Amino acid sequence: MKGLLLFIQFISAAMLIVAVLMHTAKGEGLGGIGASAKLFGTPRGMEEGLDKITWGLTIIFLAISLLLAYLKV
């Protein structure tokens, strides 16, 4: 049981990292140094879908983290 939860947590963490990195830059940030922040644009519909995926993965990751903390892995 704990092994399965740890596996799901690892997979959700990796997918969450990828989902966050796929978001477009809202501001210049570090991308403004090389003027690459505004180079690539995505349609707004894709960004909204990516937001939903990111929130879903966040909820899964946090729920499993709390469950594992309760089980004291």
Long-range contacts of 32-41 (CB under 8 A, 24+ apart): none
Q: CB neighbours of 1 closer than 8 A, spacing ≥ 6?
A: 71
Task: Write down the pLDDT at residue 17.
Answer: 95
Q: How many CA atoms lie within 13 A of 38 on its CB side?
A: 4
Task: Write down the pLDDT at residue 33.
Answer: 53
Task: Write down the pLDDT at residue 27.
Answer: 62
Task: Write down the pLDDT at residue 14.
Answer: 97
Tokens of 36: 């690459």
Task: Write down the pLDDT at residue 52.
Answer: 93
User: pLDDT tens, 20-67?
Assistant: 998 877 665 555 555 554 545 556 778 888 899 999 999 999 999 999
Task: Write down the pLDDT at residue 65.
Answer: 96
